[in-house]
Structure formats: C-alpha cells, structure tokens
Amino acid sequence: MPQVFWRGAEGRTYEFQLDPIGSAYVDRPGIFVFCKADDAGGWTAIYIGDTESFSGTLTPEFEDHPAWECIGGAGPTHVGTLHWPGTSTSRRIAVEDLIAGIRPPCNAT
C-alpha cells in the first residue's frame, strides 16, 4: 500500500497509509489527512483530523463536517490514515503537532 510521511512541528515523522477517497476503512482509531498530489510528486495536506473509528468517520457523511466546504474546495483525492491505538489525548497531541508542522489550509481557525 502506498505510504506518505509528514513531519510535525516537534520533528517527529508520522507514516500514513494512502488511499483514494471513498476507500473502505477498518473500525479503529487514528489520525487522518485529506490530501492531494502536488506538482513536485509529493502530497499536500489539506486537513488533519482524528477519530475513534476510521470506518465511522471517513464516509460520505463527512461532507456534513464544518470544514468540508474548505476541504472539498481544495480538491482532495486521497486520505492518509495512521492507526493510533493510544488514548484520545495522545492522538490529539499528535494531531496538533502535525497541524503546527504542516499548517494545512483547512485547519486554520
């Protein structure tokens, strides 16, 4: 399976599995990144989030998410997923590290 690596502000590198939007996901917790290919052959992160269940979150109903107008408008083609079996607090800390390091446009508040 294709993989993509993103680095957080603290210098930690996170390895994500890369799948086209609409893929089936398993029921496990983790971090997800809506993204698209860039002109340099890499991947541009559009939005970073976390969930208790990939299969419960990464569904067509995600279009009801408050950030979807921004996400959808940015043209994502893939979702990177990183299984995170730790606590929701540790997962959120990792998400905040990634957001601070990458600064995806649809995470701007």
Question: What CATH code is carried by the domain that includes residue 55?
Answer: 3.40.1440.10
Instruction: Quote the number of domains for the chain.
Output: 1
Range of the domain at 63: 3-107
**How does the average pLDDT of the chain come out, rounded?**
94
The neighbouring-strand residues paired with 20 are: 78
pLDDT in tens, 32-84: 999 999 999 999 999 999 999 999 999 988 888 889 999 999 999 999 999 99
The model's confidence at residue 109, banded by pLDDT at 50, 70 and 90, is low
Q: Which residues contact residue 5 at a Cβ distance below 8 angstroms, ignoring those fewer than 6 apart? A: 13, 14, 15, 16
